Amino acid sequence: MNENSNEEQSPAPPKNGRHVPSYWLLVVLGTLLLLAFFTQLIEDDLPSVVSQDSIGRSFDRFSEEKTMSHLNIITGDQPRVSGTPYHLQKTKDLKELVDRVARDALQSVHTDWQFASGDFWLSYTAPHANSYNVSNVAMLVGERYERTRLIGTSDDAIFCAVMVETLSLLSNRNDKLKHNVIFLFNGAEENALQGSHAFLQHPWFRSVTTVINGLRRHERQE
């Protein structure tokens, strides 16, 4: 009886294991602090945000804060699914935004809300005809667009906002532009480039010679 009690009360033999030396904890902590220090140095070296109040009515500097206000108007607070009433409402808001820029511009600025229907063949794994009924918002900066060559641009949501602010600066230059510039805000772009294909029907497209293709506008799909 006593022997069993002694066996039950005897401590278990120590397990052999490897312990991390304490100085390694200091090394890890020091490395993290060093990374944080260099990260802060890089952040401090970045250009400071130009506020909307600091530029006033000036058009000689790009304002990130003003661009953010454009982005809030363009995106709203709901998914902009192509064909939904909210998507239509945000397209109207975008059109009003670019119309306001056009009214305040020193340069000649033309805006257009294109509505187009069409179809084209897609040679995917499952080839099919892609039919659409979409709209695009387009702006042209310059004179006599029917007779001159154009430069086109397309986008995504943040790039839409950057385009609006760039347009605001570009259209308020005192010097005339050497070439006309089109800012194209594609609709239904994620539906296999329906917006881009629809722009082929636009009269401005016939004079386009150069395209700068930014990230496409994000439109959540069903």
List the catalytic residues.
Answer: 189
Name the E strands within 94-127: 109-122
Spatial contact of 145 and 108, defined as CB atoms under 8 Å apart: no
Helix, strand, coil percent content, the chain, rounded in steps of 5: 40, 20, 40
Q: Which residues contact 156 (CB under 8 A, 6 or more apart)?
A: 214, 215, 216, 217, 218
Q: Could you give the angle at the alpha carbon of 186 between the alpha carbons of 101 and 207, nearest 5°?
A: 80
Q: Could you give the angle at the alpha carbon of 175 between the alpha carbons of 173 and 51, nearest 5°?
A: 20
User: Which among 146, 148, 147 is positioned nearest to 180, based on CA atoms?
Assistant: 148
3-state secondary structure of 162: helix
